[in-house]
Amino acid sequence: MDRRTLLKLSGLSLVGATAGCLEGEDEGTATATTTEESGGGGGEETTTTTEESGGSGESYTIGMVDSLTGSLAPYGERNTRGRELALAAINEAGIGSEGASLRISVEDDESTNQGGVNGAQKLVNQDGVPLLIGSVGSGVSIAIHDSVTNDAGVVQISQNSTSPELTSRPNLLRMSPSGAAKGQALANLVNDDGHDTVAVTWINNDYGTGLSDVFAETFESDLGGTVAYNEPHDQGQSSYSGILTEMASTDASAWVFITYANEYTVMVNEGFDQGYNTAVDYYGAESTVADSIIENTPAGSMDGMKGITESAPQDQENYQNFVSAFEENYDATPTVWSAYAYDAVTVAALAIEAADEFSGEALASVVRDVTRPEGEEVFNFEEAAAVLRDGGSPSDINYQGVSGPVDLDENGDPPGYYQIYSVQDHEYVFGDYITS
């Protein structure tokens, strides 16, 4: 964001600013949001645009499948704010010479594969969107790609999915990096802390499978350790005491949790009741970082836990501008996941700006080019659009996201920034950076 856009954003009251709640519409805001019963996944459809657009009243509508309910809802909530900030900046500048606005029709995937497919089918088959952003869960994103978008020729950009499995689907683009490097980094972190035997439990979906496979392979084959327990757990269970009992029956000195916030909260509470938290060291990945976990577990229940999470380059100016605008509007500090959502919307808008027509085929032909390092570095939508409107081609710009360089490769993957975190005094503390 340049200073003018930042000041503009700072003056907006976009949506409700209560931390930890799903944002809704406030009276008198600069965001027009309508909600109606969806014909798709059984959730709600929300169409969002900004009222202040520079132009003709024309608009482009794209789709988004996000996790508004279910296990992944804490992450979907974070996406909402990033999406709204991006829309405000894009619609302040307007798309094309006529200054058209961008609209996003949002469907709830209910944190399930089938919910995601239902929502995507509604957006693609009924609404006819040529580009779809979604989703949070890797399994949900893959199901949408395999069942809906790939055969329909619709561009799909996941805002948050990290499973290495997405790399095998080059038409499934994403803003967050592959979890392969994260799994390797997590294995090295556990090993460096002196653990040679670990127990791992992972959520039984593409996210859990992909990350646990990389972790186990690195820990055993590369580092010479032993994975004494390596079993899945199902999503949405009220108790995981059986899993914890099995982990405790091993001689593992470290337990690795590859799961989601709701599931991990249950495990932490049950582990605290049994005293496991003082007998072994806990480790996790990005999905064990959520305010809801801290809020719903007792103090001391996971102090000393460590893990690896995605991060943004915090010394980068446009990320700092993003943080300033976010804090001004929401009275909260953003996570990198909000930044990924912001970048997903911005890249989509740049593809619309650069394409010859508003179709899946035309958008697919330019969406990678606007992010590639061969072009001129641009740091916001307005700056990039100015280059394109001055006769530049898609390959003449290199969008530098607020989450870091996007640089989508032939597999649709960006490079990644990671950070080591720990839990101290029942709060998350973030430390050293790792780059892929």
> How does DSSP assign 201-243, residue by residue?
EEESSHHHHHHHHHHHHIIIIIT--EEEEEEEE-TT-S--HHH
How do residues 51-106 score in pLDDT, each as one tens digit?
444 445 699 999 999 999 998 998 888 899 999 999 999 999 999 989 999 999 99
d(CA 286, CA 309): 4
Mean pLDDT value of segment 252-280: 97
Percentage of the chain with pLDDT > 70? 87
| Residues facing residue 103 across a β-bridge | 61
Cα-trace Rg, the chain? 21
Lowest mean pLDDT: which of 41-45, 298-302, 377-381? 41-45
Band of residue 434 on the pLDDT scale cut at 50, 70, 90: confident
d(CA 203, CA 244): 14
Angle at 274 (CA atoms; ends 269, 275), nearest 5 degrees: 95
Computed over every residue of the chain, the mean pLDDT equals 88
Nearest to 285 by CA among 313, 243, 244, 257: 257
d(CA 325, CA 10): 6
By the 8 A CB rule, do 284 and 256 touch?
A: yes
3-state secondary structure of 37: strand
pTM: 0.79
How do residues 146-155 score in pLDDT, each as one tens digit?
999 999 999 9
